[in-house]
Homo-oligomer: A and B are copies of this chain.
Amino acid sequence: MTDQTPIKTSARSGGRNARRAARAAPLDAATRPIRAGMEGGRYKPLTDADVLKIHEAALEALETIGLCDAPPSGVEILTGAGAILGDDGRIRFPRALVEDMLAKAATSITLFGREPAHDLLLEGARVHYGTAGAAVNMVEPDGRTYRHSTVQDLHDAARIAHELDNVHFIQRPMVCRDITDNREMDLNTIYACCAGSTKHIGTSFTEPSFVPDALEMLHMIAGGESNWRARPFLSNSNCFVVPPMKFATEACEVMEACIRGGMPVLLLSAGMAGATAPSTIAGAIVQATAECLAGIVYVNAIAPGHPAIFGTWPFGLDLRTGAMTVGSGEQALLSAGCAQMHKFYGLPGGAAGGASDSKLPDMQAGWEQMCSNVMTGLAGCNMVYEAAGMHASLLGFCHESLILADDLIGQAQRCVRGIEVDDATLALDQMREVCLGGPGHYLGTDGTLSRMQTDHVYPTLGDRTSPKEWVEKDKPDLVEKATARKHDILSRRAPSAFDPATDAAIRARFNIHLTV
């Protein structure tokens, strides 16, 4: 991609040389075969009738079951908007209220990067992939070991993800276990992520009282509150519900504070199908949909049109053991089905895809990560969270796996881009030219050469050599190649590091654990 050799213009000289010359042409962002925000949606796991059934069931759940445990502020906001507080402490949502708030909700939002090149436009079936999660371990594939994750690991993950074209946002994927104070952990999480990348960042806050400090740091990074509010480059991943159908009291207070601070919110409902959500895929989707609709009412009752992501994240459960499983086919269906519901509402939405149950970046990890990544993408999910680096059913994060996911997600994105059908791509003219008195092959046709870079995705570390070449190259190991790339990225200065004055100011104001 960065090869600067001039383009050879005599493209018709044919064969291998012409291909080699053409492939040296650098591509600008607009002609790259894949990019953030490609349109998905050609996979519809649900029929239209099924979508309506799920919608009706979600409305009925909101109207008849409702949610308990809203904070006093939330009770006031929700009842003020028209929700009904029952004697049993549950807040129920008349369907007209839900419909009104759906009409007020933002249907198109931009998640800003600190650099505009990383802005993400969430609307329609535009698909983006990124990290997320709260892993507590770092996976070291070299020694096949798990160890506690640290703030340095998180910073390194951000720096690596910053370099990967196909990782479009960086929601905090792991917890800084070397920081025991929750306030310091939350603040250092922001610092570690933002100092590592100018892509859009996502994170959570343990307590509502931490939000003002977080906003203060964000204002410093942005160069003032007005800059921050103009382009908020960090969003709040907010587990505002404790499924089934309970508000998470403190998280709701965090959400209110974030909304007031101009921060986009991810309304995250993370039920486990068979434990905290129905075991059936349809049922888990119904509950997640109902919970996120409650969140939409909540957000839009505070600030109509505030940027919010419909975060239906139902997770799979291995019913034999009661353990979480995120790498399964059931998981891929859960997330793809949710994505279709987002499209039905016309709301920006997100779901979990791309996580693995395997402990290491092995073949199982590959098939599990691809399955849910490609299916949620094909279903048109705006935000595919946990798409890279996630192992051990969300308990482990792996830098090498993150790096390999760039190839994996790139392939999924190529699938999301889909099949273009027009006169040029149908290629009848080429077929005639080649077959009727022509060379009998398409190797040197304009239709082949001109599309070499714009139509095809080539892996960075994925291996396509012949067995013979592979032996000659000393049988390169995929994970070792990823480790080498990791060391290469981390050996350079972070391109997105803060300027010295800002960094000094932040370090003077907050206890930053990351060493310079």
Contacts and interface: CB of A to CB of B under 8 A. Distances in A.
Contact of A43 (B43, B54, B357, B366): B43
Given A357-B463, A479-B363, A276 B375 contact: no
Interface string A404-428: 1001101111110011111011111
A96 interface: no
Find the residue from A43, A361, A393, A396 having the highest chain B CB count within 10 A: A43
Given A45-B418, A411-B328, A425-B282, A362 B359 contact: no
A415 B329 contact: yes
Given A329-B414, A421-B46, A393 B279 contact: no
B427 A362 contact: no
Nearest to A50: B421
Nearest to A326: B464
Given A54-B421, A363-B479, A432 B374 contact: no
B371 A435 contact: no
Given A363-B362, A431-B61, A463-B358, A282 B419 contact: yes
Given A370-B367, A442-B274, A42 B42 contact: no
A417 to B, nearest CB: 8
Contact of A428 (B61, B375, B404, B432): B61
A275 B283 CA distance: 48
Contact of A426 (B53, B320, B325): B53
Contact of A370 (B320, B366, B470): B366
A495 interface: no
A395 B466 contact: yes
Nearest to A34: B329
Contacts of A365: 363, 366
A364 B407 contact: yes
Nearest to A461: B364
Contacts of A432: 64-65
Contacts of A19: 319-322
B43 A278 contact: no
A262 to B, nearest CB: 34
B470 A278 contact: no
Number of identical monomers bound together in the oligomeric complex: 2
Interface string A280-299: 11110111000000000000
A357 B421 contact: no
B478 A364 contact: yes
A367 B366 contact: yes
B279 A447 contact: yes
Interface string A129-169: 00000000100000010100000000000000000000000
A456 interface: yes
Given A323-B466, A427-B286, A431-B61, A415 B371 contact: yes
B467 A414 contact: no
Interface string A475-516: 101110000000000000000000000000000000000000
A280 B427 contact: yes
A287 B434 CA distance: 12
B46 A43 contact: no
A279 B57 CA distance: 47
A20 interface: yes
Interface string A426-465: 1110111011100011110101100110011111001111
A414 B330 contact: yes
What 5 pairs between A and B have smallest CB-CB spacing? A366-B366, A283-B427, A329-B414, A278-B427, A363-B366
Interface of A: 15-16, 19-20, 23, 42-47, 49-50, 53-54, 57, 60-61, 64-65, 88, 137, 144, 146, 244-245, 274-283, 285-287, 318-323, 325, 327-330, 332-333, 337, 357-359, 361-371, 374-375, 378, 392-393, 395-396, 401, 404, 407-408, 410-415, 418-422, 424-428, 430-432, 434-436, 440-443, 445, 447-448, 451-452, 455-459, 462-467, 470-471, 475, 477-479
Given A42-B44, A50-B421, A364-B407, 11 more contacts: A50-B419, A281-B455, A282-B419, A319-B448, A320-B452, A359-B465, A364-B459, A365-B366, A366-B367, A378-B378, A393-B466
